[in-house]
Structure formats: structure tokens, C-alpha cells
Amino acid sequence: MHSDHQYIEALRRRDERSIREIYKQHSAQTIRWVVSRGGSSDDAQDIFQEALVAIFEKAQNLEFVLSCPLGALLHVICSRKWVDRIRQKSREAGVRKEEEIRYETEAEGDVLVEAEEVLAEQAKQSRLREAFQQISELCQRLLTLLSNGTKPLEAAAILEMNSVDTLYRRKNACTERWREVYRGIG
């Protein structure tokens, strides 16, 4: 566990002071880096925000342990997000140059592995949210109530279901439907 893991804990707690500190310590580096590669300050701020959101989402997994400096992880994620943005804008020449720089400057394997995990987790969470939006409103309410810790008997009453058995049958059907939709997206 790296000493910067304290920031992961702060993200989990949504500690505003620590989040401001992350911005203060690391956003300027991202802005300089993106601007030096043809982007604007606004582009850089967007990229930094997206990277921090990706790390925040990964931090929600309590098993995630930061094993490298937070700045290194942010830099790798920002650089990959910037390359992706360039690719989206069809700047092939710029992408080739950024890809060369990416491979020349990539640091330790741990940072890259963590960055890949963060990006993969962010993509998975996005697909889960998209699939969740496609299931019925009743299923969304039922699964949300149970995931927020509402007791089954109370959830059954809120949803006007006859019994806890009905709730569990419906929960299983909703979970299966969510899986089916998720598989269709992935």
C-alpha cells in the first residue's frame, strides 16, 4: 500500500478538503501536459476531472489498494484519456505521436495495471448503469431499496407486494433481467 492510499480513503469518504488538495497538487501538471500536446486548458480540466471520477469509482471497491503514487496513476489515466479524445476527433497523426510518447514514457508496470483496472472498472460501471436504466421501473425501485439496506419486509410493503416470498421471486427475476440486458450491452 502506497502512502498516497490516504487519498483513496478520502475519496471514499467524499472528503472535500482532500479532494481540493488532490486538485491543487495534481491538476496543474495535467493542464501543462495537455496544453503542451495541442489541447486547451479546458480540455485538460475535463480530462483531469474524468480521471479523478474514474479513480473515485474504482475507490468504491473496498478491495482496491493504491500501490503507486496517486500522481503517477492520474498521469497515466489522463494521458490515455487524452489519446482517446484525440482519436475521437480523428487526429491520426497526433494519435500516432501520442502513442509513441505513451510507450516511451510508460513507467512501472503497477501503475499501468492499476490504470487499466480503473478504466475497465469505469467502463463496467457505465455498462451496468446503462443496463439498469433499461429494466422496468419496479425492478429499479426494488433493487435500489434492497441495495440500500432496506429490510425485505419493509421493501415488500413499500412496493405493495403481498409477501417477502413475492419480493424475493421478483428480485431474482429483476436481477436476471438486468444480467441479460448487461450481456447485450457488453
Most distant CA pair in the chain: distance in Å?
63
Cell digits for 91? 487526429
Read off the pLDDT of residues 59-88 as tens digits, 9 standing for 90 and up.
888 888 888 888 888 999 999 998 888 877
Q: For residues 93 and 70, is the Cβ–Cβ distance under 8 A?
A: no
Name the pLDDT band for 133 (thresholds 50, 70, 90): very high
Read off the pLDDT of residues 101-115 as tens digits, 9 standing for 90 and up.
666 655 555 677 788
Question: SS3 letters for 19-31?
Answer: HHHHHHHHHHHHH
Write down the pLDDT at residue 52.
92
Write down the pLDDT at residue 109.
58
Please state at what angle helix 16-35 crosses helix 70-88, rounded to 10 degrees: 50
Q: How far apart are CA 73 and CA 66, in angstroms?
A: 9
* Residue 153: burial class (beta carbons within 10 Å; 0-12, 13-18, 19+): exposed
Close Cβ partners of 106 (under 8 Å, ≥ 6 residues apart): 76, 112
